[in-house]
Amino acid sequence: MALYRIGLTGGIGSGKSTVAQLLVAWGASVIDADALARSLTQPGGRAMPAIGQVFGSRAVQADGAMDRGYMRQQIFQDADKRRQLEQILHPLIGQAMQAAAATATGLYLVYDIPLLVESLARYRPIMDRICVVDCEETEQIARVHARSGLSVQAVTEIMSTQTSRQQRLAAADDVIFNGIGITLAMLEERVRQVHENWLQLIGQQKAQ
């Protein structure tokens, strides 16, 4: 039987990566879409020939990796360029995710996808549940600014390319709130409750 599939998402700075780490510690297999995208755009990455062809040599660093700062600037300024980059990366990420899923052996399979709701038509059919890590937008900005040094404007621009908090919540089967006032211990307890609920659902599915 195929593993139960959870789509995990949340806006930048929501704490989604921390949630994923907890789930791994408790026996889940996690496929990280961002990590796959990074591997595709490293020196020798499968996406780099197409990126160089479409966006030119300025998009490629001397070591052969994608110039992330340059490309971030390009896709924020031009929605067509963002779509072009997505057209290169998304099929390759999809192939890598399928390959990783075929060898996963955890209690269940978590797809950690920051832009899951933005591509809901693609992902909803292959997920048993969608879990959103939720956070106030003001807190997202404060966290990302503090950890990365990006300006508030730069963080706001990143958030503008993501779907709204309301749209993510509308797509959710499960919500883990990790906003203002939530400590790590409180977050861990909330994640554990969701994890145990999933295990119960998996048990019910196997019993049918």
Report whether 169 contacts 179 (CB < 8 A): no
Mean pLDDT is lowest, of 50-59, 111-120, 148-157, for 148-157
Give the integer Cα–Cα distance in Å for 97 and 100: 5
pLDDT band (50, 70, 90) for residue 1: low
Q: What is the pLDDT of residues 64-87, one digit of tens each?
A: 999 998 998 888 778 899 889 999
Q: Which residue has the higher pLDDT, 186 or 119?
A: 186
Report whether 134 contacts 177 (CB < 8 A): yes
pLDDT band (50, 70, 90) for residue 99: very high
| Secondary structure in 3-state letters for 84-132 | HHHHHHHHHHHHHHHHHHHCCCCCCEEEECCCCHHHHHHHHHHCCEEEE
pTM above 0.85, yes or no: yes
Distances (CA, A) of 16 to 71, 73, 137, 198: 24, 24, 14, 17
CB atoms within 10 A of CB 193: 12
Q: What is the pLDDT of residues 124-174, one digit of tens each?
A: 999 999 999 999 999 999 999 888 888 888 888 888 878 899 999 999 999
